[in-house]
Amino acid sequence: MTQTQKPSLIGETRQGLAARLRALDLPEREIKMRVAQLWNWIYFHGARDFDAMLNVSKMLRARLAEHYTLERPEIVSEQVSNDGTRKWLIRLRPVDAHDKGAEIECVYIPEEDRGTLCVSSQVGCTLTCTFCHTGTQRLVRNLTAQEIVAQLVVARDRLGDFPGLTPPTDGLIPKGDGVRAVSNVVFMGMGEPLYNLDHVSDALGVLSDGEGLSLSRRRITVSTSGVVPQIGELGARTGAMLAISLHAVRDDLRDKLVPLNKKYPIAELLQACRDYPGASNARRITFEYVMLKEINDSDADARELVRLLKGVPAKINLIPFNPWPGAPYECSDWERIEKFSDIVFNAGYASPVRTPRGRDILAACGQLKSETEKLRARARLAAQ
Ligand code: SAH
Ligand code: SF4
């Protein structure tokens, strides 16, 4: 058996690790303690080698190494933007002999007081929002919980940011005292997380475990295009913060921009938000609104947005449209965005425009699409 064919323990849940240990015939009475040890080494210290696990007997370390690895998915490329944003193209470990390893993109956005990792929940996306590049990708599959968690592990490897390691001093921002390089996770990369809720929910359990990766659930945000039947479920199972990709205030327009709206129209979506477990003024739901020139950016749209959100504990995030090659929209003019944002601000919503980050490396929202897909598309074009 070659190294790469062994299952990796990276990203496993506690139950998953227990099952891996049982498969080695470990006595049941030892399992809980061994899981705790592995957990601490893998997620608290970021161990890459079983031999580093000094409180695990040499014999067990050897057996673990014989059957499993601590291999991470491979970083195929790293691009660093002039604003410090990093985009990693990550090749997932093959799931079987025919799989060449699907690719996903993962983006790290450092700010003064926080560092946000934008993770993917699927390879591609089955939905077809007309302004989103990921929606044009044909290859689609759900990520496993392991693959979702592995994105944070890879980022922490790269940034030297495990809770059990001394933070790096090489100028990596954020600069605030005691702020981790990755302090927040948003599910705003590729895919619709609520179409993969079981795995997202397991992954959230690992990300937020206080004895391991230790991210607070209040610093984990799941963004959905509006899969209404799963919204309550997400809240009940994970306690994650919710973000809704609203983008339009009328059903006829939202039907076009976010076709899922035909199934779950705005009124139903907002009702699900009002009912979201744990939503309160201290834990507001974020409403994302992409600014598309002359499509959804009028004063009337802004006023209607404010009216619609009455009674929902909401924050509004205006996202300047990030163009991609062949996109059918343009970003609203800056003055228009400011005017729109003034109306929203005067209605009591604070600082709503999201600064585009990593634009020079196509790392912004909705620009993610795997390199293999791009190459394939290029090959198709070349063949025409
Ligand atoms: N599928 C989920 C999460 C991933 S998309 C969702 O749709 O919410 C993350 C955010 O980026 C969403 O708000 C999405 O609408 C937005 N987005 C997609 N393409 C974009 C683009 N080209 N410019 C700006 N935002 C975009
Ligand atoms: Fe999928 Fe979200 Fe893109 Fe829509 S915006 S196609 S739901 S990733």
Question: Per residue in 73-126, pLDDT tens?
Answer: 999 999 988 888 899 999 998 877 777 778 898 999 988 888 999 999 999 899
Q: Where are the domain boundaries for CATH 1.10.150.530 in the chain?
A: 3-67
Average pLDDT value for residue range 194-201:
98
- The model's confidence at residue 172, banded by pLDDT at 50, 70 and 90, is low
**Least confident segment among 113-122, 146-155, 185-194, 370-379:** 370-379
- Tokens describing residue 101: 């390893």
Q: At what angle do helices 14-22 and 28-39 cross, to 10 degrees?
A: 130
Residue identified by tokens 């210290």 is 45
Is residue 105 among the annotated active site residues?
yes
Identify the CA nearest to 106 among candidates 180, 209, 185.
Answer: 185
Q: How far is the CA of 258 from the centre of ligand 2 (A)?
A: 8
Are 103 and 91 in contact by the 8 Å Cβ rule? The answer is yes
Q: How far is the CA of 177 from the centre of ligand 2 (A)?
A: 35
Are 63 and 30 in contact by the 8 Å Cβ rule? The answer is no
pLDDT in tens, 204-250: 999 999 999 999 999 999 999 999 999 999 999 999 999 999 999 99
Are 317 and 289 in contact by the 8 Å Cβ rule? The answer is yes
Q: How far is the CA of 9 from the centre of ligand 2 (A)?
A: 30
Are 155 and 110 in contact by the 8 Å Cβ rule? The answer is no
Is residue 118 among the annotated active site residues?
no
Q: What is the pTM of this model?
A: 0.92
Check 12, 105, 111, 147 and give the catalytic one. Answer: 105
For residues 122 and 105, what is the distance between their CA atoms, to the nearest angstrom?
10
> Is there an atom of ligand 1 within 6 Å of 321 CB?
yes
The predicted pLDDT at position 16 comes to 97
Identify the CA nearest to 288 among candidates 303, 276, 264, 305.
Answer: 305
Are 182 and 155 in contact by the 8 Å Cβ rule? The answer is yes
74-383 adopts what CATH topology? TIM Barrel (3.20.20)
- Closest ligand to Cα 126: 2
User: Regarding predicted confidence, which is higher, 365 or 152?
Assistant: 152
Are 223 and 241 in contact by the 8 Å Cβ rule? The answer is no
Q: Which of 122, 190, 225 to mutate to test the pocket of ligand 2 (most atoms within 8 A of CB)?
A: 225
The predicted pLDDT at position 175 comes to 63
For residues 184 and 351, what is the distance between their CA atoms, to the nearest angstrom?
19
For residues 313 and 24, what is the distance between their CA atoms, to the nearest angstrom?
50
Q: How far is the CA of 178 from the centre of ligand 2 (A)?
A: 34
User: Regarding predicted confidence, which is higher, 163 or 220?
Assistant: 220
Q: Which of 122, 132, 269 to mutate to test the pocket of ligand 2 (most atoms within 8 A of CB)?
A: 132
- Closest ligand to Cα 221: 1
> Is there an atom of ligand 1 within 6 Å of 85 CB?
no
Average pLDDT value for residue range 319-327:
89
Q: Which of 118, 134, 187, 188 to mutate to test the pocket of ligand 1 (most atoms within 8 A of CB)?
A: 188
Considering only the top CATH level, what class is 3-67? mainly alpha
| CA-closest residue to ligand 1 atom 19 | 366
| Closest atom of ligand 2 relative to the 126 alpha carbon | 1
The predicted pLDDT at position 366 comes to 53
Q: How far is the CA of 174 from the centre of ligand 2 (A)?
A: 29
Phi-psi map region of 306: left, alpha, beta (phi>0 left; psi -120 to 50 alpha) = alpha
Q: How far is the CA of 322 from the centre of ligand 1 (A)?
A: 10
Identify the CA nearest to 122 among candidates 108, 110, 132.
Answer: 132
| Closest atom of ligand 2 relative to the 125 alpha carbon | 1
